[in-house]
Amino acid sequence: MHGNGIIDSVTHDRSSRAPLLQPRNRKDIAEVADATDLGVSSWAWALAPRLAQFTAVARHEHVTRAAQELGMPQPTLSRAIVRLEEDLGVALFARHGRTLSLTPAGRSFLASAERALADLERATDSVRADADPTAGKVAFGFLHTLGPETVPGLIRTFRADHPRVRFQLVQNYGEAMIERLRLGDLDLCLTSPVPDYPDLVARRLDEQKLRLVVPDDHPLASRKRIRLAEAAGELFVTLEPGYGLRRITDALCAEAGFTPRVAFEGEEAETLRGLVAAGLGVALLPPPAVPRPGVSELTVTAPRAVREIGVAWLDGHPDTPPVAAFKKFLLSRRGVLLPR
């Protein structure tokens, strides 16, 4: 189990399919062919544009008044309603001269049509609200280690000029956030190492020194500095494989000439610090937001022990105004992203 970001999943059951509308002429044949090419297999795609017309007529029980409300010619609306009934194969209205009344089938269809239109209106309001330049939403992912101090400080500074922008915050490990970018669940993410994928745009923003963390009763605890090779005989506690910091730890140890002997693997840096404090191993970790009792943190002099922090987003993905503003703000923090 990796991280605690909220993962949404959607499954599509295509085992049962509603029949397509039956074409009546060449124009209809072309329309149905186009729909089939697009993978359309539901009545909803064909009916959706006519729901508002049907509900207006049902509300007024009069085609002329409904046409005036909709701003369309009365004959056009009449033909649309007749065609809707033909396509459904059921009478939705009983005709009484110039007035209409709903049949039982029409009343049942109206209830569903009104729910569908209400859902569509709510969805429209939601996406418009998210894109609002002054009060829109930014879906922002970041590493757990950036949560206690870095991200709250960034948002506080940004909202000084954009006080109404809303944030959906997701903490997770790097590869999981990249997958969320690809799914469209995230607009931006802060991660490490800086990703290098053809479908993403990534910019290096800062670097963070890593320290060798040892128990405070360890023989090395009195030291201020250490070469990583001096820890070759130690047991390490590390993040699980797949985490960016684990890859960096393995690479630094390899550069120092050894493969770390891993005693415990975890999912969060402060948990690893706790394991170190309990005497269960040593770890390469970024500095904590608050000093942790029970450990000593040594500067690594060789190799150069740092991790790069970068921001990434999906290439070609259009930004809403609030996302564009926050992206510009993050890029302006190059070199001063992290607390010093």
Cα 20 to chain centroid, rounded:
34
Residue 67: phi and psi, rounded to 5, are: -65, -40
In the predicted model, residues of the chain with pLDDT beneath 70 are: 1-48
Residue 35 confidence (pLDDT): 40
Task: Write down the pLDDT at residue 43.
Answer: 57
- Give pLDDT, residue 44: 56
Distance CA 190, CA 153 (A): 14
Alpha helices in the chain (DSSP H): 26-37, 43-47, 51-60, 63-70, 74-88, 104-131, 150-159, 174-183, 244-255, 269-277, 321-332
What CA–CA distances, in Å, run from 253 to 2, 162, 240, 299, 332?
A: 24, 43, 16, 15, 33
Closest CA to 41 of 30, 32, 51: 32
Supply the DSSP string of 64-97, one letter for each residue.
HHHHHHHTS-HHHHHHHHHHHHHHHTS--EEEET
User: What pLDDT score does 45 carry?
Assistant: 59
* Cα separation values, 228 from 75, 254, 256, Å: 83, 10, 6
pLDDT score for 117: 86
Closest to 283 measured CA to CA, from 250, 243, 242, 258: 250
CA angle 196, 243, 223 (to 5 degrees): 110
The Cα–Cα gap between 135 and 133 comes to 6
pLDDT per residue as tens digits for the range 29-77: 334 334 434 343 455 556 667 888 999 999 999 999 999 999 999 999 9
* CB-based contact 288:295 (threshold 8 Å): no
Q: What angle do CA 236, 237, 243 make, to 5 degrees?
A: 115
